[in-house]
Structure 1
Amino acid sequence: MNKRFVVVDLETTGNNPKKGDRIIQVGVVVVEQGKIINQFSSFVNPEISIPSFIQQFTGITNDMVVDAPLFSSIAPILMDYLDGAYFVAHNVPFDLSFLQNELDMCGYNTFTGPVIDTVELARLLMPTEESFKLNHLATSLNFVHDRPHQADSDAEATARILLYLLEKLKGLPLLTMQRLKPIIKRFNSGLEDILQTYINEKLTTADLKVDNTLDEFRQLVIKKASEPTKDTTVNEIPYFHDEVNTVEERLQETMEGFEIRKSQKEMMDSIDQALMENQHLLVEAGTGTGKSLAYLLPGLFFAKKNETSMVISTHTVQLQQQLLERDMNILKNTVPFSFRSAVLKGRSHYLCLRKFEQKLNEQLDQNYDTLLSKGQILVWLTETNEGDVEQINLPSGGRVFWNEIQSEAKTCLGKHCPWFSRCFYHRARNNAYGADIIITNHALLFTDITQGHQLLPSYKHIIIDEAHHIEEVASDHFGSSTDYFSFTHLFSRLGTLESSDLMQQLFMMQQEIGLNLDDYFEKLNELILDVKYELDDCFTQIHSLVVKRVSASKNEIGRKSLRFYPHEMKGNGWKEIQEAVARVQMYLKDTLKLMKRIIDEISLNEEDLNFPQSGLFTAMKGFYTNFSEEEGMLEELLLHYDPNYVYWIEVDVRGAKNATFIYNKPIEVSQILAENFFSKKHSVIMTSATLTVKNSFEYLIHRLGLEDFGPSTKIIESPFLYENQVQLMVPTTLPNIKEVDEDEYIYEIVMSILDIAKTTKGRMLVLFTSYDMLRKAYYQLKDFIVNEEFVLIGQGISSGSRAKLTKNFKQFDQAILFGTSSFWEGVDIPGEDLSCLIIVRLPFSPPDNPIFEARSEKLKELGKSPFMELSLPQAIIRFKQGFGRLIRSSHDRGVVFVFDRRITGTRYGKSFIQSLPQVPLKENTLQELLYDIENWL
C-alpha cells in the first residue's frame, strides 16, 4: 500500500494547550511500504517550568530542556514529514491539539490531512484486550518499550502497533471488511481509503482462498465451533486418595517447585471424604491454602469415577475466568485421564446472532459507541468460540447496545431461528451437558433454583467457592424488585408509531401481510402514552413521600430507604399513592389486553411470516412477557403482603424525581434453602476464607438452614506466618466517633492517614463502611497532600471499575486507595504494592437497613439478641474479609490499623481479634505506633 504514515508522540507540561501547557519533547517515526523508514526526536524548550509531577511521570527535567531548540525551530522539519501523509498518534485529540496550537503560535498553517488514532484502531481490531493504553498494547504484542512516557520510545511503540494493526485489518475476511466499510466511515480515523484498498486487493487477486476455521453465513463471518474433545479414557478411573502422590509428582513437573502444602492436602482429604460419603461440608480455608486446586482435584476424580457432573459455583466472574483459563490447564496436565469442562453463565452474557444481524442491518442514526461496538463485534466474531461479553472490551456506551443484542429466553426463536445451529448460548448449554466439570456462578445457580432447574444440567454434587455470599445471593433471587427505569427501558424498546422502533416496525409488518390492525395500534399508541404519564406520576409521588418521611436533605448522597407494609398503607400521602397505583394497574392491564389481542391476530398468520418478520413478532411476544412480568411485580410489591418478606422503597435523593426503586426479600432464607437446595443434593461443599466466627461455624449453619443435615466442618489454617508478617495496631489518640461530631472525626482520621502514609510511603488501602465519609475524607486529604506527594484514588470518585482502580493503584509508587463495600473483599494486591491497610470503622450493618431491621425483629420475637446473633457475626465475617486484603503471599509484610477503638475497648471487640489468625496487637499513641512501623517495615 503506497501510503505514508507519520507517527507523532509528544510529551507536554500538562494536558491543556489552551491553558498555556507546552510541548517538551517530540518523537516522530515515518512508516512506508509496511516498514519504519525514518525517525526523528528532540527535546523542546517550553519556555516555562516543567511541573514536578510531569518530571516524575516522564523523567524529563528542566535541565534537559533548558538548552533544547524552541518549537519554532523544529516546526519546518515536522511540516516536511507531514506533507501528504497520515498523522498517526496514540490518542490523536491530545497530540494533534498540542501540535496545532504550537504551529499556530509559530505562524504556520495547521495540519489538515487525514489522521489515524491507534487507540481507536486497536479498539476495533483487538476488541478482547483488557486495556488500550500504549504500555499494555506493547506488552501484549511483545514489543520492546523500555522508556514509556518519553516521546521517541512512545512514537516507536505506536509505529509498531500501527504496522501490526494494518496487517490485521488486511488479514480480515473480505466479507467482514465489506460489513465494516459503512461503519468505519463514521470513525474519527480516516480508514476508508485504506480499507477500500485492501478490499480491492482481495477482489482483484486470487486471495479468496477458503479459511477452514471460519464460517460464512447470512453475510456474517464467524469462527467455526471447535468440536468437543472426545473422552479417550479407557482405564478404570482411580480413587483420588490412591492417586495423591502421583498427582503431586505431575504437578511438580508442570509447575516448577510446586508441592502440595499440608493445609492443601488436608482440604483435599476432607472434600474427597465428604463427596464419597454424600455429606454436606463447610471448609474455611485460610489465605494461601491454594483452595482452587484443593477442591478441583478431588471434585474432578469423583465426577469422573462416578460418571456424573461436578458443578463449581463462584461469586465473581473473575474467579470463574481464573478457574477456566488457569486451573483447567493445570488439571489437564495433572490428572491421568482426559476430561471435559464447560462454563455456563447467565443467558445475558451471550450474543444473540439473530439480533446482531438485525441491528447491523439497521441504518438508523447511531451514536459513536454503538458504531464502534458493531465494528468490534464483527472482528470478534472471527475469533470467539464463546460469544461471551466478558471477553470483549466494549466502549462505555456499548453496554446499552449489548442489552439490545444479548440472548434472552423471551425473544429466542429456538429451533426456528436460522442461527440456531450456531447459537452461542445453546452451544454453551450443549457443552455443559455431559461435562465432568461445569463452572458457573452463584447468580445463575440460584436463578436455576428459582426457575425450576431449567438452566443447569441435572447435578447432585456441587462445590461452592466464596460461599459466605450464599445467604445474600439467595435472598436477592427469592425476592422481587421494580423501578421506574425498568418500565422506561421497556417503553424505549417498544417506541411509538412515530419512532422507528418495534411498534412502528410491527405496524408496517401487519400492513404488509394484509392484516387490518391499524385501529388496534393507534389505540395501543395512546394507551402507552397514558401508562407512561401515570407511572411517572405514581413513582414521583412515592419518591416525594419517602424523601419527606426519611427527612433527607438535598445535600445527601446516595439512596435513602423506607420500609413499608403494603397491607397498611395509611396516613399522609399513602392514600394518593394507592389511588395512583390503582390507576397505573388499570392502564397496564388494558395495555396488556390490547397487546395480547394484536399478538393473537398475528399468530393466526404466523406461518406466512418471512425470517425478519418472525424475528419482529418474537420480539413483540418477548416484550409482552417482560411487560407482563413488570406489571405483576408492581402489583405484588405494592398491593400484596407476605409476612415472611420485608418490603422497602429506595429513592435517589439527588436523582430524578421518579428515581424510585421498590423491593421485597424473604426475611430468612434458611428454610427456603433447606427445602429447595440442601435436601435435593447429595453433597454440597462450601468453602471460603471467611465462614467462621470465633472459630465456630454455628452462625452460618443456622443462617443457611443446615442444622438438620448435620454437615461436616473443617478449618484449614493459613500456611502464612501471620505473627511474622503482620502487625495489628490500634491508635489510642483517635477520638471515639460518638464523642465528637462527624467533621472533627473525619479531620482526625484524615490527619492520621496522612501521618501513616508518610511512614509507609503510601501503598495503602483505606476501607470505609460509609461512602459519604469516604467522599468527605477523600477531598479533605486531597487538600492536605503537598506537591502531589501521594496519588489519591477513591472508589466512586476516580472513574473506573474496582479492577481498574486497583490496577491504577499498582502503577504508582506512592498511592493511597479509598474503598467501600466491594473493596472489603476480592481485591488482590500482593507484594510491596500494598504495605498498609486501614480499617476506619468496624463493619456493622447500618441498623436502618430494611432487611437487617426485619431479621432483627424476627430474632427479638424468638427471644434472641439481634446484636449477638446477627449484627456481630456479620461484622466479624466482613472484618475478616477486609483483613485478608493485606497478606496475599508468603513474602508479603504489612501493618493493619484499626481506627475504631471499640475493637479493644468493648467486650464484643475481642471477638473480632479472636477471629483473626494469631497476630501481634499493639495499642498505643499514633506517634509511638509510627515509630514501631518504621523500624519494623
Structure 2
Amino acid sequence: MPLNLHDQVAAAFVQDGWLARAEPHFRPRPGQTAMALAVARTVEDGGVLVVEAGTGVGKTFSYLVPALLSGQRVLISTATKALQDQLFLRDVPRLVQALGLPLRVARLKGRSSYLCLHRLGQVHQSRVPLDPQVLRAVARVQDWSHGTRSGDLAELPGWVENSTVAAMVTSTKDNCVGSACAHWEQCHVNTARAQALAADVCVVNHHLFFADMEVRDSGVAQLLPSAGVVVLDEAHQLNETGIQFAGWTLGTRQLQGYIKDVLADVTLHARGLADWMQLLAQLEQAINAWRAVGGACPPGSRLRWLGVAPEGLPEASWRQGLHAVGQALRALLLALAKVAETARALLPLYERGARLLSQLASFAQPVPDDAVRWLEVTRQHLKLMESPLGIARLMRAHMEPEAQEEGGTPPAAPRAWIFTSATLGDDADLRWFTETCGLRTAQVLKVDSPFDYARQAVLYVPEDIPEPAQQAAHSAAVAQLAAEGALALGGRTLVLTTTLKALDSIGQHLQQRLGLLEPVDVLVQGQSPKHVLMERFRAGTVQGRGCVLVASSTFWEGVDIPGDALQLVVIDKLPFPPPDDPLVEARSRQLEAVGRSPFADYMLPEAAMALKQGAGRLIRRETDRGILVVADVRLRTKAYGRRLVQALPAMHRIGSTAAWRQALARLAGGASPVEED
C-alpha cells in the first residue's frame, strides 16, 4: 500500500531516511521534522499554515520536501533575489535529484531583470549624444545579447542592476510596447513567463506574487490558479511589499521619462505630423513649475497629505501646478491620438500617457478613508505616494477562489498556503503578521531555534550609556563601545543603526578613533556598494587588518555571516517606527479610531520584530559564539523593555562594564562569552 504524504515526509526526515543518504551533513532536528509534518498535513487537507521557524531550523527543506512529494504544482515566493537564486540553483535541484522526480523547475524575475531588445535598439537610434563610457557599456550588452538564451542580465559579468545603462536596456510596465513590438516573439520576458507557466515548480519573488493580479488584467495566464501549493518564504516582508505594489506612485521623474520616450518615438514614426517640440516643451515647463512649488522643502522631506495639498505647501499654487501638468499632458495625448490611427507603433505610448493622466487625476481627488497619501521631495524631483494601510484585502483577492460558475467543475485539489519566516510575531498567535495579512483563521506554528543561545551568546544592555534622546552623546558612546569590542576581537563587529543620522555620526567617530592607527578597517554603508562591503566583511582579517561595518536599513535582515567573521553585533537603539512617518501616523490614527493603543498594538510589535531581525545576524550556526549589545537603557528602565527582551533569543544577560569586558576577553580568547558555572 503506497504511503500517504504525511508518512512519506516522516520517513524522509528520520536518521537513515533518504534525506540523510542524499545530504551528507543532514541530521534529524525535531523542529524541522515538526514543521515538515505540519506542512504535509496542510498540503493534504488544504488551508493556511503560518510557521515562525527560528534560525537554524532548516525551514527550506521543511516546506520543499512535502511540496515536491505532493505531486502538485508548486509556487514559491521569496523576498530577496539571493534566496530566489539559492532555491532555483541549489536547493530545489538537489532535492529533485535526490527524489528522482521528473520535475521542471523555473525561476521568474521581474521585468527589469531581463534585456529588452526593443529598448536596446532605441539606444542606437537615439539622436541624443551619449557619454562614451555609457556607449561602451551598451556595446557590452549588445555583444552579450547575441549569445544569451535567457536574457537575464544578472548573467552578464560585472552587471550593475541600478546603473544608468540598466534603465536604458530594460523595460517597465509603462514603456513596454506589448504585442506591437517587433521583437514580441523573441521577448525574453515572454519566454521566461512561458517557461514559468509550464513548470512544475516556479520560484518568484514577492513583488511578482502581487503583480500576478495585474498579469490577469493584461490577458496573460496567471501562475496562481494552477498552483496546488503556494509557499511564501521570508513572509515577514509581505506587508511592506504588498503595500508598495497596491499603492499609487507618480513622480516628476516618471513624467520626464515619458517626455524622453515620446521624443524618441515620434521622431521615428511621426515626424512633422504635429508640433511635438512645442507640446513636449509645454509639458516640461509645467513639470518644472510644479516641482518649484515644493522647492522650499529640504531634500528627503516626506510631507503629510491630508487635505487638498501636502502639508506646508500653498494649496492654490499646488493645485495650479497639478492642473497645468494635466492640461499639458492632455494636449500631448490628443496629438498622439490623432496620429496613432496611422502610426500604430505610437498606440502603446498613448496608452501609457493615458495611465499617467489617470494617476494624476486620482491625486487631485480627496484621500480615500482606507489609505494614506504623502509627498516625497528629492533634490530634483517630487514623488506623489498613496498607499493602503494594510494588505488584508489584497491577500483575500489572491487566496479566495473566484466564484464557480453554475455547472462548472471545482478545483482538482485544495489550495495549500504556507507562510514562513524566522520572525513573524512576539506572541503565541503571531498577530503582528496574521492581522496585517488577514490570516486570523490560519493554523499557527512556532518552531524554536535549535541553537543554545544561553551558552553561545550574551546580551549586554549597558547601565550607564546616555539616553537615545541625547543624540550626539549617545552616538559617541555607541561608537566607543563598538571600538572597544572591535579592538578586543580584531574587528568582527557589525553596528546596526536605526537612522541615517546615527549611521553618519557613529561611522565618523569610528573612523576617527580607529582610522589607520589601529589594525581595523571601518566600513560605512553608502561609502561602497553593499556587495563590496559584504565581501570585505566576510573576508574577516585581511593582511592583519580586521573589520567593522556600520550599517542601517537593509543590513538589519537577510545578511548571513556565519563563523568567526562576525562575533559582535551592536544595535544603537530600539527600532521603533518613526512617529512622523505618514504611514505610521495613519495606522496609529486608524487604531485610535477603534479604541486600540497605537503604541501597544503597533509601535511595540514593530520594534520587537525589527529587534529580532537585527539580533538574528549574530548566531547563524550551532558553533557560532558572540555578544549582542543593545545600547538603549529603555530596555532596562521601561515597563515595555521586558516584552522586547522576551522577543529576543534566550541569551545570557549582563549589564555591568566589568561583565562586558570579561565576556569580550573570553570571546577573544576563543571561548564562549558566557561564563561557565
**TM-score, normalised to structure 2's length?**
0.89
Give 5+ residue unaligned stretches, structure 2.
403-413, 672-677
Distance 1:806 1:249, change over 3 A: same
Q: Deviations over 1:710-740 (max 9, x none)?
A: 21111111111111111111111211123xx
- Is contact 1:766-1:839 (8 Å) kept? yes
Partner of 1:804: 532
In 1, the alpha carbon distance for the partners of 2:497 and 2:162 equals 32
In 1, the alpha carbon distance for the partners of 2:187 and 2:647 equals 49
Counterpart AA for 1:344: L
- Is contact 1:285-1:717 (8 Å) kept? yes
How far 1:411 moved relative to its partner?
5.9
Q: Work out which of the residue numbers 493, 499, 502 in structure 2 matches 1:770.
A: 499
Partner of 1:683: 416
- Is contact 2:303-2:311 (8 Å) kept? no
1:698 aligns with 2:431: yes
Distance 1:340 1:260, change over 3 A: farther
- Is contact 1:482-1:634 (8 Å) kept? yes
How far 1:887 moved relative to its partner?
0.8
How far 1:466 moved relative to its partner?
0.4
Q: Work out which of the residue numbers 659, 666, 681 in structure 1 matches 2:388.
A: 666
Counterpart AA for 1:285: A
Partner of 1:714: 445
- Is contact 2:68-2:96 (8 Å) kept? no
Q: How does 1:414-425 map to 2 (within 5 A)?
A: 419-425=183-189
Segment drifting more, 566-575 vs 255-264:
566-575
Partner of 1:732: 463
How far 1:317 moved relative to its partner?
0.8
1:447 aligns with 2:211: yes
In 1, the alpha carbon distance for the partners of 2:598 and 2:562 equals 37
1:795 aligns with 2:525: yes
Distance 1:456 1:260, change over 3 A: farther
Distance 1:375 1:237, change over 3 A: farther
In 2, the alpha carbon distance for the partners of 1:297 and 1:781 equals 46
1:575 aligns with 2:339: no
How far 1:256 moved relative to its partner?
1.8
How far 1:774 moved relative to its partner?
0.8
In 1, the alpha carbon distance for the partners of 2:590 and 2:666 equals 51
Q: Deviations over 1:834-855 (max 9, x none)?
A: 0100011111000001011000
* Secondary structure in 1 matching 2:87: helix
Partner of 2:675: none
How far 1:799 moved relative to its partner?
1.5
- Is contact 2:228-2:416 (8 Å) kept? yes
- Is contact 1:646-1:850 (8 Å) kept? yes
Distance 1:257 1:276, change over 3 A: same
1:389 aligns with 2:153: yes
Partner of 2:330: 589
How far 1:336 moved relative to its partner?
3.5
Give 5+ residue unaligned stretches, structure 1.
1-234, 496-500, 509-517, 553-557, 604-616
* Secondary structure in 2 matching 1:885: coil
In 1, the alpha carbon distance for the partners of 2:552 and 2:231 equals 29
* Secondary structure in 2 matching 1:312: strand
Distance 1:455 1:472, change over 3 A: farther
Counterpart AA for 1:665: S
How many residue pairs get aligned? The number is 646
Partner of 1:428: 192
1:869 aligns with 2:601: yes
In 1, the alpha carbon distance for the partners of 2:212 and 2:295 equals 34
The structure number with the bigger radius of gyration is: 1
Q: Work out which of the residue numbers 527, 531, 549 in structure 1 matches 2:279.
A: 527
* Secondary structure in 1 matching 2:624: coil
In 1, the alpha carbon distance for the partners of 2:153 and 2:552 equals 27
Using CA pairs under 8 Å that are at least 6 residues apart, name the structure with larger relative contact order, 1 or 2.
2
Distance 1:361 1:252, change over 3 A: farther
Partner of 1:780: 509
- Is contact 2:373-2:387 (8 Å) kept? yes
1:754 aligns with 2:483: yes
- Is contact 2:10-2:37 (8 Å) kept? no
In 2, the alpha carbon distance for the partners of 1:568 and 1:382 equals 50
Distance 1:284 1:569, change over 3 A: closer
Partner of 1:636: 362
Q: How does 1:872-891 map to 2 (within 5 A)?
A: 872-891=604-623
Partner of 1:649: 375
How far 1:476 moved relative to its partner?
0.9
Q: How does 1:265-414 map to 2 (within 5 A)?
A: 265-302=33-70, 304=71, 308-357=72-121, 359=123, 365-381=129-145, 384-394=148-158, 399-408=163-172
Partner of 2:407: none
Distance 1:382 1:326, change over 3 A: farther
In 1, the alpha carbon distance for the partners of 2:265 and 2:119 equals 13
How far 1:460 moved relative to its partner?
4.7
Q: Work out which of the residue numbers 292, 296, 307 in structure 2 matches 1:540.
A: 292
Distance 1:412 1:873, change over 3 A: closer
How far 1:807 moved relative to its partner?
1.0
How far 1:300 moved relative to its partner?
1.4
Counterpart AA for 1:700: F
How far 1:409 moved relative to its partner?
5.5
In 2, the alpha carbon distance for the partners of 1:727 and 1:928 equals 10
In 2, the alpha carbon distance for the partners of 1:873 and 1:327 equals 32
Counterpart AA for 2:50: L
How far 1:928 moved relative to its partner?
3.6
* Secondary structure in 1 matching 2:383: strand
Q: Deviations over 1:138-168 (max 9, x none)?
A: xxxxxxxxxxxxxxxxxxxxxxxxxxxxxxx
In 1, the alpha carbon distance for the partners of 2:434 and 2:507 equals 39
1:564 aligns with 2:305: yes
Partner of 1:601: 342
In 2, the alpha carbon distance for the partners of 1:413 and 1:735 equals 58
1:898 aligns with 2:630: yes
1:624 aligns with 2:350: yes
Partner of 1:935: 666
1:479 aligns with 2:247: yes
Partner of 2:266: 503
* Secondary structure in 2 matching 1:714: strand
- Is contact 1:369-1:398 (8 Å) kept? no
Distance 1:932 1:350, change over 3 A: closer
Partner of 2:651: 919
* Secondary structure in 1 matching 2:335: helix
* Secondary structure in 1 matching 2:549: strand
In 1, the alpha carbon distance for the partners of 2:156 and 2:4 equals 40
* Secondary structure in 1 matching 2:343: helix
How far 1:764 moved relative to its partner?
0.4
Distance 1:416 1:671, change over 3 A: closer
How far 1:806 moved relative to its partner?
1.1
In angstroms, what is the RMSD of aligned CA positions? 2.6
* Secondary structure in 2 matching 1:631: helix
**TM-score, normalised to structure 1's length?**
0.65
* Secondary structure in 1 matching 2:390: coil
